[in-house]
Amino acid sequence: MTVQPLSALDSQAGDSDPAPSGAPPDGRSGRRASSSGRVLVLNASYEPINVCTVRRATVLILKDRAEILEIGDWQLHAERFAMPRPMVIRLTTYVRVPREAHRRKITRRAVFARDRWTCQYCGTERGSLTVDHVIPRSKGGPTDWDNVVTCCAPCNRRKGDRLPRQANMIPRQPPAAPHSTIFIHVAVPVIPRSWEQYIPQAA
Ligand SMILES: [Zn+2]
């Protein structure tokens, strides 16, 4: 099985290879700005591995490096060119992806996405969210998936520098490393319906 370098997926723009004839010229690939849409990228094995722009997906399709599995309800138009708006694409060759890659990177957005943008102490989904160290850093708490939770600003002030027991504030769900598809929830706040069947635990 052929293996492409993972870096082939990473460049969102500025793809230096010339586009095949008939490809939409840069910046004119659709009625909507290409950056406004996101496309779910599946490995050749159908495992979800990335989320990319419509423009990036279009390049992969035109180069025969991906096939369209799901299309949107509008088309990409350019002079002498039209194609369905891809929603889900599948790479034609298998890409080796470090399985734990998405779990290693702890970012604010990833913590919020894991916790569904909900304060893990009071349950609110409103207001400004912060990341709270369950065991405070000042007491040796690490920045690990099992020690960080989404926390609204008022709860964060209330808990302060105290331990959960001291503050009587226990996370509603014990924090843990997210599923490896967390990158999807980070990329899009609401999973499009056409993606659901390709994502484990999407419901
Ligand atoms: Zn709260």
| Nearest in space to 97 (alpha carbons), one of 7, 18, 196 | 7
Tell me what pLDDT residue 43 has: 96
Distance 75 CA to ligand 1 centre (A): 43
pLDDT at position 82 is 82
What was the pLDDT predicted at 63?
96
pLDDT (tens place) for every residue of the chain, 203 residues total: 444 444 433 433 333 333 333 334 433 333 333 335 899 999 999 999 999 999 999 999 999 999 999 998 877 777 777 888 999 999 999 998 876 766 677 899 999 999 999 999 999 998 899 999 999 999 999 999 999 999 999 999 999 999 999 999 999 999 999 988 888 888 887 889 999 999 986 54
- The CA 101 to ligand 1 mean position distance, Å, reads 30
Tokens describing residue 149 = 């939770």
191 CA → ligand 1 middle, Å = 25
Domains observed in the chain: 3-99+182-196 (no CATH), 105-167 (1.10.30.50)
Residues 180, 146: contact at Cβ < 8 Å?
no
The rounded Å distance from CA 115 to ligand 1 centre is: 12
Q: How far is the CA of 132 from the centre of ligand 1 (A)?
A: 10
151 alpha carbon – ligand 1 mean position (Å): 5
pTM: 0.68
Rounded Cα–Cα distance for residues 172 and 25 (Å): 50
Query: What is the SS3 assignment for the chain?
Result: CCEECCHHHHCCCCCCCCCCCCCCCCCCCCCCCHHHCEEEEECCCCCEEEEEEHHHHHHHHHCCCEEEEEEEEEEEEECCEEEEEEEEEEECCEECCCCCHHHHCCCHHHHHHHCCCCCCCCCCCCCCEEEEECCCHHHCCCCCHHHEEEEEHHHHHHHCCCCHHHHCCCCCCCCCCCCCCHHHHHHCCCCCHHHHCCCCCCC
